Amino acid sequence: MIDPNCRPDDPLEARISISRDGLDRLAALERLLRQFLGYKVPADRRMTDQQRRRLKSMFRAVDARQHNASQREIAGVLYGVERVASEHWKTSSLRDAVSELLKYGDAMIGGGYLKLLRFRRRL
Protein backbone atom coordinates (compact mmCIF):
# COMPACT_ATOMS: atom_id res chain seq x y z
CA MET A 1 0.00 0.00 0.00
CA ILE A 2 1.18 3.49 -0.75
CA ASP A 3 -0.04 6.32 1.44
CA PRO A 4 -1.29 9.11 -0.83
CA ASN A 5 -0.01 11.64 1.73
CA CYS A 6 3.54 10.24 1.58
CA ARG A 7 6.20 12.77 0.56
CA PRO A 8 9.44 11.83 -1.25
CA ASP A 9 11.55 12.37 1.88
CA ASP A 10 9.28 10.36 4.21
CA PRO A 11 10.66 7.03 5.44
CA LEU A 12 9.11 3.94 3.89
CA GLU A 13 8.00 0.79 5.60
CA ALA A 14 7.10 -2.63 4.31
CA ARG A 15 4.67 -5.16 5.69
CA ILE A 16 5.12 -8.84 5.12
CA SER A 17 2.33 -11.18 6.05
CA ILE A 18 3.12 -14.32 7.96
CA SER A 19 1.90 -16.73 5.34
CA ARG A 20 3.07 -19.35 2.90
CA ASP A 21 4.58 -16.60 0.74
CA GLY A 22 6.19 -14.71 3.61
CA LEU A 23 9.73 -16.01 3.06
CA ASP A 24 9.56 -15.26 -0.67
CA ARG A 25 8.39 -11.73 0.03
CA LEU A 26 11.10 -11.27 2.64
CA ALA A 27 13.76 -12.31 0.10
CA ALA A 28 12.28 -9.91 -2.48
CA LEU A 29 12.27 -7.11 0.09
CA GLU A 30 15.91 -7.77 0.93
CA ARG A 31 16.84 -7.53 -2.76
CA LEU A 32 14.86 -4.28 -3.09
CA LEU A 33 16.46 -2.76 0.01
CA ARG A 34 19.95 -3.72 -1.17
CA GLN A 35 19.22 -2.02 -4.51
CA PHE A 36 17.98 1.15 -2.80
CA LEU A 37 21.01 1.30 -0.51
CA GLY A 38 23.49 0.69 -3.31
CA TYR A 39 24.65 -2.71 -2.10
CA LYS A 40 25.34 -5.68 -4.31
CA VAL A 41 22.08 -7.45 -5.13
CA PRO A 42 22.47 -11.24 -5.00
CA ALA A 43 21.25 -13.33 -7.90
CA ASP A 44 17.63 -14.38 -7.74
CA ARG A 45 17.60 -18.01 -6.61
CA ARG A 46 14.07 -18.88 -7.65
CA MET A 47 15.30 -20.26 -10.98
CA THR A 48 18.43 -22.01 -12.14
CA ASP A 49 20.29 -20.85 -15.26
CA GLN A 50 18.82 -23.83 -17.13
CA GLN A 51 15.29 -22.83 -16.11
CA ARG A 52 15.97 -19.26 -17.26
CA ARG A 53 17.14 -20.52 -20.68
CA ARG A 54 14.05 -22.72 -21.03
CA LEU A 55 11.80 -19.83 -20.06
CA LYS A 56 13.47 -17.60 -22.65
CA SER A 57 12.97 -20.26 -25.34
CA MET A 58 9.35 -20.68 -24.25
CA PHE A 59 8.70 -16.93 -24.57
CA ARG A 60 10.29 -16.89 -28.01
CA ALA A 61 8.25 -19.91 -29.14
CA VAL A 62 4.94 -18.52 -27.89
CA ASP A 63 5.67 -15.11 -29.40
CA ALA A 64 6.52 -16.70 -32.76
CA ARG A 65 3.33 -18.79 -32.71
CA GLN A 66 1.30 -15.65 -31.99
CA HIS A 67 2.88 -14.20 -35.15
CA ASN A 68 1.72 -17.26 -37.14
CA ALA A 69 5.05 -19.08 -37.32
CA SER A 70 4.88 -22.83 -37.79
CA GLN A 71 6.47 -25.19 -35.29
CA ARG A 72 9.12 -25.99 -37.86
CA GLU A 73 9.93 -22.29 -38.31
CA ILE A 74 10.11 -21.88 -34.54
CA ALA A 75 12.50 -24.83 -34.32
CA GLY A 76 14.66 -23.23 -37.01
CA VAL A 77 14.99 -20.05 -34.97
CA LEU A 78 15.62 -21.84 -31.68
CA TYR A 79 17.88 -24.67 -32.85
CA GLY A 80 19.16 -23.60 -36.26
CA VAL A 81 17.72 -24.10 -39.74
CA GLU A 82 20.45 -26.56 -40.76
CA ARG A 83 19.86 -28.77 -37.73
CA VAL A 84 16.09 -28.81 -38.35
CA ALA A 85 16.60 -29.60 -42.04
CA SER A 86 18.91 -32.51 -41.17
CA GLU A 87 16.15 -34.39 -39.31
CA HIS A 88 12.94 -36.00 -40.53
CA TRP A 89 10.43 -33.51 -39.11
CA LYS A 90 7.61 -35.96 -38.28
CA THR A 91 9.84 -37.93 -35.91
CA SER A 92 12.24 -35.15 -34.91
CA SER A 93 13.10 -34.59 -31.26
CA LEU A 94 13.18 -30.88 -32.12
CA ARG A 95 9.51 -31.06 -33.07
CA ASP A 96 8.76 -32.60 -29.68
CA ALA A 97 10.87 -29.95 -27.93
CA VAL A 98 9.00 -27.09 -29.63
CA SER A 99 5.67 -28.73 -28.86
CA GLU A 100 6.64 -28.99 -25.18
CA LEU A 101 7.76 -25.35 -25.09
CA LEU A 102 4.42 -24.29 -26.54
CA LYS A 103 2.51 -26.41 -24.00
CA TYR A 104 4.62 -24.88 -21.22
CA GLY A 105 3.87 -21.44 -22.65
CA ASP A 106 0.14 -22.12 -22.70
CA ALA A 107 0.33 -23.19 -19.05
CA MET A 108 2.20 -19.98 -18.18
CA ILE A 109 -0.37 -17.85 -19.98
CA GLY A 110 -3.10 -19.73 -18.11
CA GLY A 111 -1.76 -18.61 -14.73
CA GLY A 112 1.28 -20.81 -14.26
CA TYR A 113 3.50 -17.73 -14.30
CA LEU A 114 2.51 -17.18 -10.66
CA LYS A 115 4.64 -20.19 -9.72
CA LEU A 116 7.70 -18.28 -10.92
CA LEU A 117 7.27 -15.88 -8.03
CA ARG A 118 7.64 -18.60 -5.42
CA PHE A 119 10.62 -20.57 -4.22
CA ARG A 120 10.15 -24.31 -4.28
CA ARG A 121 10.32 -25.55 -0.72
CA ARG A 122 10.09 -28.94 0.84
CA LEU A 123 7.54 -29.13 3.61
Our count of domains for the chain comes to 2
Q: Are both 70 and 111 inside the same structural domain? A: yes
Q: Are both 113 and 95 inside the same structural domain? A: yes
pLDDT given at position 123: 57
Q: Are both 55 and 34 inside the same structural domain? A: no
CA distances from 105 to 40, 45, 60, 62, 112 (A): 32, 21, 10, 6, 9
* DSSP single-letter state for residue 113: G
pLDDT given at position 120: 67
Q: Are both 65 and 104 inside the same structural domain? A: yes
Domain range for residue 69? 49-117
Task: Report the C-alpha gap between 106 and 111 in whole angstroms.
Answer: 9
Residues of the chain where predicted confidence (pLDDT) is lower than 50: none
Q: Are both 62 and 100 inside the same structural domain? A: yes
pLDDT given at position 98: 98
pLDDT given at position 25: 87
